[in-house]
A and B are shown apart, each in its own frame.
Chain A
Amino acid sequence: MANMAVSRIKREFKEVMRSEEIVQCSIKIELVNDSWTELRGEIAGPPDTPYEGGKFVLEIKVPETYPFNPPKVRFITRIWHPNISSVTGAICLDILKDNWAAAMTLRTVLLSLQALLAAAEPDDPQDAVVAYQFKDKHELFLMTAKHWTNAYAGGPHTFPDCDSKIQRLKDMGIEEHDARAVLSKENWNLEKATECLFS
């Protein structure tokens, strides 16, 4: 790995460790291997959003050409958000693509992702299904996002209705996550979800 990339990452790692946000436990970063090519980040769901109370883990891969090319970042924790794929965790964010600048750091990336959780851009979606729900059935979107935060990121809100519907599908032999994904996609309509699974 290029010398500059390593020295930059080391420095940024320290920057995150020393930052105010670490003290407030809102962001975190740790090493995955000794070569500094992969890191694990964590961000807390911002307050007053459906993600509040959840902890979201990120995969951060540092390219050879860092910092002249952006780091490759992906959500490992499953999340229901218009700009993040509910299947792969891929993120649609300008600074991770064309608007990356060499003077940006891991800290700015983590803080930008936290800001993205607080302010979604449904007109520029990564996940079209989520974006549609966000725009057309916003109440349902908020519920689904809170439910996912509870199920995968340790959020506080539980929805017994959702859980019972998932249980119904589990009884039919469907994996829990698949059941949740289909129900979320079909706006929690059990009949439609069943139809979708078995047709």
Chain B
Amino acid sequence: MESDIEMELESDNDGEYDDDYDYYNTGEDCDVERLDPKRADPEYFEYDCLTVEDIEKLLNELVEKLNTILQITPSLAKVLLLEHQWNNTVVVEKYRQDANALLVTARIKPPTSSADAASTSAAAAAQLLKMGSSGYKAPPAVGGNANTPPYRSQMCPVCASSQLGDKFYSLACGHSFCKDCWTMYFETQIFQGISIQIGCMAPMCNVRVPEDLVLTLVTRPVMRDKYQQFAFKDYVKSHPELRFCPGPNCQIIVQSSEISAKRAICKVCRTGFCFKCGMDYHAPTDCQVIKKWLTKCADDSETANYISAHTKDCPKCHICIEKNGGCNHMQCFNCKHDFCWMCLGDWKTHGSEYYECSRYKDNPNIANESVHVQAREALKKYLHYYERWENHSKSLKLEQQTIERLRQRINTKVMNGSGTWIDWQYLFNAAGLLAKCRYTLQYTYPYAYYMEAGSRKNLFEYQQAQLEAEIENLSWKIERAETTDLGDLENQMDIAEKRRTTLLKDFFPVAV
């Protein structure tokens, strides 16, 4: 950005600073510099969205680097990198320490018994790594003359046919099989989705087949392509800094050097996900907790669904109400009673800064009561958090409908001559921010559920309540906004977003 501005300056003014421009630019530069995004925004995340070609280039560079350092074939370099999270330094270090052990753990070489360990020195290991695809073939018999062929005939243990020795290939383990058997074996394995994990055909032998042997023997283009696709997938998955975009049919790979539970948004398909675990983004809850929570919800949802029905009765006139929009501030269409959808209490008590409703009050006497009561108490506690989680999740799902309704309302307003279409655009920004805040709020409930009772939990629930109250305010204001409310609404947006970032700053585990 800075360089852009400078370039513009130079081209426009030939290096001479005009007073107006100077003033304008320094102002903007300062602004950019003053805000360190890492401090200001707890969700700040630097990442790149790369294509398959970019990644291939990146991985090949790593392979080439290891090639030049250790003088080994690219396909073995790939195996070693794959086994060590693509960390060149670790591979080189381990190689210098104990090349033999490195090759055994990477399944390039079979484990050696202690008796012949001495003979397999580092030199032998180095020899093994340098051999190219031709190295898989048995060498011609020594001392062959013009009368005897250089290869003797031998039997392949798989197809049970006798062939000349030059048709045979073997890995470091020495198990020798004929070319046709290897090829058919590779094709059956690739067909089952196995690529870089293909092993030797001998029983109880776990030596891995490197890429170059597979690609030398498999000639059908379809199978070669498949192999390369599967292998590429495995390479990306083994690289700690790379993630496939989880969007449907999306080819993008996201890269970041910061491996934390932050939100990455694919620049192509707009899918957002947690970079660490690949699930839906879940701040302030961390990856393990959200996994635990989602499993729990999947297990208990039947009970929870049964208990928290989709409708509630108005606390005053007892008419049945189905909630079809985002806001928790309900107004009964029948008796005009204002109440809270969560606790069914009077809305007036929610207006103050303390939003009682989102707090679950632990019963301090629970330890003294029977197992039965404890179980019921545990279910009650779970349902308290689950209902709120589910409630916000439903509100978010209705977002599209809410925006559609907003659009209709604006249309009617514009038709009636109150403001122009442009005057109303700010409402869409507000709705976007509301969804963002509600999303974070939804994920605060699993966090609170697994928190231990104490002052930190109190603080968390206090902040959560604050956030919830501001979100409900915002939601209420959006639904009833007029053109003249712009200032008030923007103020409310600012407050809600501040509450959200404050909570994340204090509790989001990866925040700096």
Contacts and interface: CB of A to CB of B under 8 A. Distances in A.
A4 B158 CA distance: 9
Q: Number of contact residues on B: which range applies?
A: 10 to 19
Interface string B198-225: 0011111100000000000000000000
B181 interface: yes
**Would you call the interface of chain B mostly helix, strand, loop, or mixed?**
loop
Given A68-B185, A68-B188, A68-B189, A103 B203 contact: yes
Contact of A8 (B159, B185, B188, B200): B159
Contacts of A102: 158, 177, 181, 185, 201
Interface string B133-167: 00000000000000000000000011111000000
Interface in A20-61: none
A48 to B, nearest CB: 26
Contacts of A125: none
A67 B184 CA distance: 10
B84 interface: no
A4 B161 CA distance: 10
Nearest to A4: B159
A120 B175 CA distance: 31
A8 B185 CA distance: 14
A158 interface: no
A67 B161 contact: no
A119 B185 CA distance: 31
Contacts of B204: 101
A7 B160 contact: yes
Nearest to A2: B184
Contacts, number: 38
Residue among A7, A8, A101, A104 with max Cβ neighbours from chain B (10 Å):
A101
**Would you call the interface of chain A mostly helix, strand, loop, or mixed?**
loop
Interface residues of A, number: 14
Contacts of B202: 101, 103
A131 to B, nearest CB: 25
B168 to A, nearest CB: 13
B188 A4 contact: no
A72 B138 CA distance: 34
A65 B201 contact: no
Given A7-B161, A8-B158, A67-B158, A103 B188 contact: no
A103 B158 contact: yes
A192 interface: no
Contacts of B161: 7
Interface string A99-139: 00111100010000000000000000000000000000000
30 contacts: A4-B159, A4-B184, A7-B159, A7-B160, A8-B158, A8-B159, A8-B160, A11-B160, A65-B188, A67-B158, A68-B184, A68-B185, A68-B188, A68-B189, A69-B188, A95-B203, A101-B200, A101-B201, A101-B202, A101-B204, A101-B205, A102-B177, A102-B181, A102-B201, A103-B175, A103-B177, A103-B201, A103-B203, A104-B203, A108-B203
Interface of A: 4, 7-8, 11, 65, 67-69, 95, 101-104, 108
Given A68-B188, A101-B202, A103-B177, 10 more contacts: A7-B161, A8-B159, A11-B160, A68-B185, A68-B189, A69-B188, A95-B203, A102-B185, A103-B175, A103-B203
